[in-house]
Structure 1
Amino acid sequence: MAAKPKLWYFHGRGRMESIRWLLAAAGVEFEEEFLETREQYEKLQKDGRLLFGQVPLVEIDGMELTQTRAILSYLAAKYNLHGKDLKETVRIDMYADGTLDLMLMVALAAFKHPEEKEESLALAVKKAKTRYFPVFEKILKDHGEDFLVGNKFSWADIQLLEVILTMEELDASVLSDFPLLKEFKTRISNIPTIKKFLQPGSQRKPPPDSHYVEVVRNILQF
């Protein structure tokens, strides 16, 4: 029996959360090793396990993978969450990359001073409403299918649901002008593996709090 994937990261969302989402949606059980001290991080670096000196780190299939988007792309291909051909795959990657850009804005906001943090989060919500969600609403309207690409559940659908739920934490009415995205949210949330991940007690992480920010700052020393 193959070993479960092992995820090395802080005990919070950050860049690892989208990886957790993808594994959970694929129905893959995984283990986590949480970085809580500077010494743990330095040991990973000293042992040459962090290619560019950064986490996330994922151990899977006898490999040690770093760089978030590369990890996500590998997992999407491995668990049949990519397209049936190159044209579908590049559209999935394009849509997923867009949502990852928005998620990064939210993740980085946690480390800013309170006033700047609120401004950054407000800007993220504004961009979701004016730049990102209109695009996905139009995609769903134009092809009239349940999923974003090829009428098949993919990495892009997982990423979009994650960003929708994250934005709703910041503004509960963020989908008020997007009826098709509301339907999409309900539909994708009810996929059994995702429904399970959304239940209390899963490996889904809460929004970053002051303790998470302090731990990350101490480990990365910034």
Structure 2
Amino acid sequence: MASKPILHYVNGRGRMESIRWLLAVAGVEFEEKFFETREQLQKLKETVLLFQQVPMVEIDGMKLVQTRAILHYIAEKYNLLGKDMKERAHIIMYSEGTMDLMELIMIYPFLKGEESKQRLVEIANKAKGRYFPAFENILKAHGQNFLVGNQLSMADVQLFEAILMVEEKVPDALTGFPLLQAFKTRISNIPTVKTFLAPGSKRKPMPDAKYVEDIIKIFF
């Protein structure tokens, strides 16, 4: 029996959360090894981290780093990367768009004062003015339940994650986007998604002041 993937990261969302989401939605159980100090991270850098960066995932005898490489491997392994090259190109394109949006939100907890207020406005404007209209139009154009090939893919998982992240900051973000509202409901009813959303799962909570303090202590 193959061993479970092992995820090496801090005990928080960051760049690992999309990896957790993809594994969870694929129905893959995984283990986590958290580092809590700068010294523990340094030891990883000196021994196993190819570019001295996390996240790192041990899977299928490999120690993979770089978030996108990890996501693409998992997506291909568990049939979440489309049926052919054209579908794969669209899935990756849509995923890259949602990652751009999510990265805006990842930085938000570390900002203060006016910079924090400006970032919140930017998140709302880009979600409602750029990304959500694009995905609403994609769903409208083909009239299917999923973004690509009418089957669940990495693009759907990441868009769902992005919607939840935006709504934590902008609760009315999906107002005016009926197809995305239906998409959110549809994805949330997938059994593995329900499980990951339920209390007690390995999904990490919204970053708080303690998370920010820990990240600064470990990385900076």
Listed one character per residue, the Cα deviations across residues 138-172 of structure 1 (whole Å, up to 9, x for unaligned) are 00000000000000110000000001111111111
Question: CA 1:11/1:118 → structure 2, altered by over 3 Å: closer, same or farther?
Answer: farther
Question: CA 1:177/1:85 → structure 2, altered by over 3 Å: closer, same or farther?
Answer: same
Q: Partner residue of 1:105? A: 104
Q: Partner residue of 2:191? A: 192
TM-score, L = length of structure 1: 0.97
What's the CA shift for 1:122? 2.3
Q: Tell me if structure 1 keeps the 8 A contact 2:46–2:52.
A: no
What's the CA shift for 1:117? 2.1
Structure 1, unpaired ranges of 5+: none
Amino acid at match of 2:129: T
Question: CA 1:120/1:160 → structure 2, altered by over 3 Å: closer, same or farther?
Answer: same
Distance 1:114 1:8 in 2: 32
Distance 1:188 1:78 in 2: 20
TM-score, L = length of structure 2: 0.98
> Structure 1 residue runs of 4+, over 3 Å off?
none
Q: What secondary structure, in the 3-state scheme, does the structure 2 residue paired with 1:110 have?
A: helix
Q: Partner residue of 1:20? A: 20
Aligned-residue sequence identity (percent) comes to 61
What's the CA shift for 1:118? 2.8
Is 1:177 aligned to residue 176 of structure 2?
A: yes
What's the CA shift for 1:52? 1.3
Distance 1:114 1:202 in 2: 33
Amino acid at match of 1:163: A
Listed one character per residue, the Cα deviations across residues 181-217 of structure 1 (whole Å, up to 9, x for unaligned) are 0000000010000011011111111111111111111
Q: Partner residue of 2:31? A: 31
What's the CA shift for 1:65? 0.5
Distance 2:22 2:139 in 1: 21
Amino acid at match of 1:208: P
Structure 2, unpaired ranges of 5+: none
Amino acid at match of 2:22: L
